[in-house]
């Protein structure tokens, strides 16, 4: 069901593209090479997990412009930048926009593989977190306003008795609401409850 | 430029005719003076003799001839004391006038010759400096190219490095040697590509004398376009090449490359200054036995009336321009027996075009 993480390669130089593609296949992942940023954008789907190896200097849309567009569209695909002339300014520029690293051509195979692994891991972690967050939000959305009130108080570290006093409820009513919300959020302990809250 | 420099060697043929002519004239005048008393009139042919002597390749000869004329003028008085009815003081005054005329001619002649020598030396110096500037211009061009070439070299180098390590890894894992073939083939191909780039750079930097060969100007223009492509792209200028069907020209490829490079580089810079269409078109064509290369840009155009001035040395519209590029281009084109022209285009922008004679082939 879930698409397989794919290594995308965008470089206008055919020889470099072929070499990076061969290197990427060593990781046992599918590799999709593109000769230009436009070609890549034409087929790319942001739900597709993976990472992107991106050359900066290309005719047409440059690597920096492509990265900017992906950032603007909220695509968090990790990018490994490869460049022939990575001056500090450009490196800082692309790193602040979230690139994994900047590899200066020519680079070692091991270096590329390590950065690709790191990028794929980051993407996987990011997607796991995003999924957990979506789950937490869905759970919290099912709470009533009153249950939410109690939840905030629990998270703030208050005891049932304190909550009862604050909200002007009986201790019994607080315990009831607490049990209901714990069930809805699927948390067995307070620690688990707080975790869900933090993921939101 | 070196071609230009070498085609004007200092004249080395020694001509001694003025020397003998002057001596013969002095002998003749003295002979006539002995037979017919010429008096002060003898000074006139003597000054001619001195003027002739100034043309002699022997630098001291003019002075010697003047001294000889002066001595003979005085000697005449001793040899021919018979002065008829003329009074002595008149004879002396006449001879002094004659000496004065000869002396002044010599003095003015020598001074004039000195200033001519200085001027021709200055001309030689200017020509040498111009040749140096031309080479400097080429080195400067090469310097600008170096950045582009470094990037160009990096591409095959990156591919070679990765493919070699991939092959190494495959081999270490005990892979079938046939599976290494694609990586090894790629390494060989990319190494050749790198070598070709290095050859191009060397051609550009070489400064031995002009080497004429049959040159295809489409190829020259193509290689310049490749070199300037990234520069144009950075300046957001579109570079278009229109290959005409053209014969070869007999030329120094590097020099013509430099001309095309200068024209295209200027055109890209001109086009980059406009906010509208940014385009440079390089077109080649055959025109009446000449191969013509025209470079058109969509820039603001040459200032009206400056169409010829732009080829002058030190003329530049660029704030940091040396004004050498087009001057050098013109001397290269002219040394190839061609001509270069600039014009404003009615739709805006300029066209700079040069044409050089096509190689005449009778065996086709």
> Are residues B124 and B148 located together in one domain of the fold?
no
Does any CB of chain A come closer than 8 Å to the CB of residue B159?
A: yes
Tokens read off for A124: 């996987």
Average pLDDT of the segment spanning A15-30: 93
Residue B78: the pLDDT is 65
Average pLDDT of the segment spanning A101-110: 92
- Test mutation, A81, A103, A106, A111, chain B, max B CBs within 10 A: A106
CB A119 within 8 A of CB A161: no
The span from the CA of B306 to the CA of B311, in Å, is 9
Q: Which residue of A has its CA nearest to B230?
A: A59
Tokens read off for B176: 């079938």
> Are residues B261 and B144 located together in one domain of the fold?
no
Tokens read off for A41: 């954008």
CB B230 within 8 A of CB B342: no
Domain that holds residue B8: 2-130
Chain B residues whose beta carbon lies within 8 Å of the beta carbon of residue A107: 158, 161-162
Residue B61, CA atoms < 13 Å, CB-side half-sphere: 20
CB contact under 8 A, A18 and B186: yes
Tokens 């990319």 locate to: B190
> Are residues B334 and B262 located together in one domain of the fold?
yes
Average pLDDT of the segment spanning A187-192: 81
Reported ipTM: the value is: 0.74
> Are residues B216 and B352 located together in one domain of the fold?
yes
> Are residues B196 and B218 located together in one domain of the fold?
no
The span from the CA of A9 to the CA of A16, in Å, is 10
Q: Residue B84 — very low, low, confident or very high, per pLDDT cuts 50/70/90? A: low
- Test mutation, B150, B162, B187, chain A, max A CBs within 10 A: B162
CB contact under 8 A, B158 and A105: yes
Residue that is last in its domain, among B205, B228, B252: B205
> Are residues B321 and B238 located together in one domain of the fold?
yes
Residue A81 has pLDDT above 90, yes or no: yes
Q: Which residue of A has its CA nearest to B231?
A: A59
Question: How many of the other CB atoms lie within 10 Å of CB of B207?
Answer: 11
B362, part of any domain: no
CATH value at residue B312: 3.30.565.10
Question: Element (H or E) spanning B239, and its range?
Answer: strand B238-242
Residue B42 has pLDDT above 50, yes or no: yes
Residue B254: the pLDDT is 81
Average pLDDT of the segment spanning A33-39: 94
Does any CB of chain A come closer than 8 Å to the CB of residue B166?
A: yes
B321, part of any domain: yes
CB contact under 8 A, B162 and A84: no
B233–chain A nearest CA distance, Å: 7
The span from the CA of B246 to the CA of B227, in Å, is 22
Q: What percentage of chain B reaches a pLDDT higher than 70?
A: 80
Which of B154, B160, B183 comes nearest A84 by C-beta?
Answer: B154
Q: What percentage of chain A reaches a pLDDT higher than 90?
A: 47
Residue B184: the pLDDT is 93
Q: Where in chain A is the domain with CATH 3.40.50.2300?
A: 6-129
Q: What residues contact residue A39 under an 8 Å CB cut-off, 6+ apart?
A: A10
> Are residues B224 and B352 located together in one domain of the fold?
yes
Q: Residue A6 — very low, low, confident or very high, per pLDDT cuts 50/70/90? A: very high
CB contact under 8 A, B159 and A19: yes
Which residue has better confidence, B188 or B87? B188
Residue B7: the pLDDT is 42
Residue B32: the pLDDT is 86
Instruction: Look at chain B and report how many structural domains it folds into.
Output: 3
Residue B4: the pLDDT is 42
B364, part of any domain: no
Tokens read off for B291: 């191969």
Does any CB of chain A come closer than 8 Å to the CB of residue B201?
A: no
> Are residues B218 and B329 located together in one domain of the fold?
yes
Which of B147, B159, B189 comes nearest A16 by C-beta?
Answer: B159
Residue B9: the pLDDT is 44
Q: What residues contact residue A102 under an 8 Å CB cut-off, 6+ apart?
A: A81, A82, A83, A86, A90, A91, A94, A95
Q: Where in chain A is the domain with CATH 1.10.10.10?
A: 142-199
B363, part of any domain: no
Q: Which residue of B has its CA nearest to A60?
A: B233
- Test mutation, B149, B158, B194, chain A, max A CBs within 10 A: B158
The span from the CA of B12 to the CA of A195, in Å, is 100
> Are residues B78 and B187 located together in one domain of the fold?
no
> Are residues B253 and B166 located together in one domain of the fold?
no
Q: Residue B83 — very low, low, confident or very high, per pLDDT cuts 50/70/90? A: low
In the CATH hierarchy, which top-level class contains the domain A142-199? mainly alpha
Which of B166, B190, B230 comes nearest A23 by C-beta?
Answer: B166
CB contact under 8 A, B162 and A13: no
Residue A65: the pLDDT is 92
Residue A179 has pLDDT above 60, yes or no: yes
Residue A138: the pLDDT is 86
In this structure, chain A runs to a length of 200
Residue B307 has pLDDT above 90, yes or no: no
Chain A residues whose beta carbon lies within 8 Å of the beta carbon of residue B150: 84-85
Tokens 């790191």 locate to: A118
Which residue has better confidence, A123 or A188? A123
> Are residues B168 and B222 located together in one domain of the fold?
no
The span from the CA of B165 to the CA of A107, in Å, is 11
Residue A1: the pLDDT is 43
Superfamily of domain A6-129 in the CATH hierarchy? Response regulator (3.40.50.2300)
Q: Residue A50 — very low, low, confident or very high, per pLDDT cuts 50/70/90? A: very high
Residue that is last in its domain, among B105, B130, B155: B130
Chain B residues whose beta carbon lies within 8 Å of the beta carbon of residue A20: 162
- Test mutation, A17, A19, A61, chain B, max B CBs within 10 A: A19
Q: Residue B133 — very low, low, confident or very high, per pLDDT cuts 50/70/90? A: low
Chain A residues whose beta carbon lies within 8 Å of the beta carbon of residue B159: 13, 15-16, 18-19
CB proximity under 8 Å: A 78-97 to B: 82, 84-85
Residue B138: the pLDDT is 63
Residue A64 has pLDDT above 60, yes or no: yes
Residue B115: the pLDDT is 87
Which residue has better confidence, B215 or B315? B215
The span from the CA of B97 to the CA of B75, in Å, is 15
Summarize pLDDT for B174-196 with one digit per residue, the tens: 888 888 999 999 999 999 989 88
Question: How many of the other CB atoms lie within 10 Å of CB of B332?
Answer: 26
Chain A residues whose beta carbon lies within 8 Å of the beta carbon of residue B186: 15, 18-19
B275, part of any domain: yes
> Are residues B166 and B216 located together in one domain of the fold?
no
A vs B, Cβ pairs < 8 A, gives 67
CB contact under 8 A, B151 and A85: yes
B153, part of any domain: yes
Average pLDDT of the segment spanning B155-183: 91
The span from the CA of B302 to the CA of A15, in Å, is 42
Chain B residues whose beta carbon lies within 8 Å of the beta carbon of residue A110: 165
Q: Residue B3 — very low, low, confident or very high, per pLDDT cuts 50/70/90? A: very low
Which of B40-54, B150-164, B290-304 has the lowest average pLDDT? B40-54
CB contact under 8 A, A18 and B159: yes
B255, part of any domain: yes
The span from the CA of B332 to the CA of B288, in Å, is 21
Residue that is last in its domain, among B186, B205, B224: B205
B322–chain A nearest CA distance, Å: 29
Residue B93 has pLDDT above 60, yes or no: yes
CB contact under 8 A, B160 and A106: yes
Q: Residue B152 — very low, low, confident or very high, per pLDDT cuts 50/70/90? A: confident
3-class secondary-structure state, position A10: strand
The span from the CA of A55 to the CA of A64, in Å, is 9
Summarize pLDDT for A86-95 with one digit per residue, the tens: 678 888 999 9
Chain B residues whose beta carbon lies within 8 Å of the beta carbon of residue A16: 155, 158-159, 162
């Amino acid at each position: 069901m879930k698409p397989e993480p794919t290594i995308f390669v965008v470089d206008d130089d055919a020889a470099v593209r072929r070499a990076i593609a061969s290197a990427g296949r060593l990781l046992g992942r599918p590799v999709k090479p593109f000769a230009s940023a436009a070609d890549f954008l034409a087929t790319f789907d942001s739900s597709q997990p993976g990472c992107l190896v991106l050359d900066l200097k290309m005719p047409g849309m440059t690597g920096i412009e492509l990265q900017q567009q992906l950032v603007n569209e909220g695509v968090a695909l990790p990018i490994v930048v490869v460049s022939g002339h990575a001056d500090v300014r450009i490196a800082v520029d692309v790193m602040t926009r979230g690139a994994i690293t900047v590899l200066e051509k020519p680079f070692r195979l091991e270096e590329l593989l390590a950065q690709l692994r790191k990028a794929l891991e980051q993407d996987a972690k990011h997607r796991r977190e995003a999924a957990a967050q979506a789950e937490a939000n869905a759970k919290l959305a099912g709470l009533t306003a009153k249950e939410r009130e109690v939840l905030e108080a629990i998270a703030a570290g208050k005891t049932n008795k304190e909550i009862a006093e604050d909200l002007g409820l009986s201790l019994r009513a607080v315990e009831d609401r607490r049990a209901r919300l714990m069930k809805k959020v699927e948390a067995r302990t307070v620690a688990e409850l707080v975790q869900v809250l933090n993921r939101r | 430029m070196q071609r230009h420099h070498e085609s004007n060697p200092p004249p080395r043929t020694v001509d001694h005719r003025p020397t003998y002519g002057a001596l013969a004239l002095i002998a003749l005048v003295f002979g006539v003076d002995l037979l017919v008393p010429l008096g002060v009139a003898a000074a006139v042919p003597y000054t001619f003799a001195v003027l002739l002597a100034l043309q002699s390749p022997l630098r001291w000869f003019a002075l010697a001839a003047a001294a000889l004329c002066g001595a003979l003028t005085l000697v005449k008085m001793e040899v021919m004391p018979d002065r008829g009815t003329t009074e002595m003081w008149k004879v002396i005054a006449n001879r002094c006038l004659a000496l004065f005329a000869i002396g002044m001619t010599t003095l003015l002649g020598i001074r004039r010759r000195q200033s001519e020598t200085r001027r021709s030396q200055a001309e030689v110096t200017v020509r040498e400096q111009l040749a140096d500037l031309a080479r400097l211009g080429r080195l400067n061009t090469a310097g600008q190219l170096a950045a582009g070439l470094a990037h160009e070299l990096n591409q095959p180098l990156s591919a070679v490095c990765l493919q070699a390590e991939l092959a190494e890894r495959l081999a270490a894992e005990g892979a079938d040697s046939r599976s290494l073939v694609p990586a090894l083939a790629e390494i060989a191909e990319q190494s050749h590509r790198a070598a070709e780039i290095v050859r191009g750079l060397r051609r550009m930097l070489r400064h031995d004398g002009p080497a004429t060969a049959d040159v295809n100007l489409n190829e020259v223009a193509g290689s310049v376009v490749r070199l300037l492509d990234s520069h144009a792209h950075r300046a957001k200028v579109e570079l278009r090449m229109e290959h005409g069907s053209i014969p070869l020209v007999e030329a120094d490829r590097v020099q013509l490359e430099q001309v095309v490079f200068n024209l295209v580089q200027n055109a890209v810079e001109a086009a980059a200054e406009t906010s509208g269409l940014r385009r440079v078109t390089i077109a080649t064509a055959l025109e009446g036995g000449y191969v013509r290369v025209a470079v058109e840009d969509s820039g603001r155009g040459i200032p009206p009336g400056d169409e010829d001035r732009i080829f002058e040395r030190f003329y530049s519209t660029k704030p940091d321009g040396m004004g050498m590029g087009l001057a050098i281009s013109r001397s290269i084109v002219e040394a190839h027996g061609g001509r270069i022209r600039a014009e404003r285009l009615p739709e805006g922008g300029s066209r700079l075009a040069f044409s050089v004679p096509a190689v005449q082939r009778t065996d086709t």
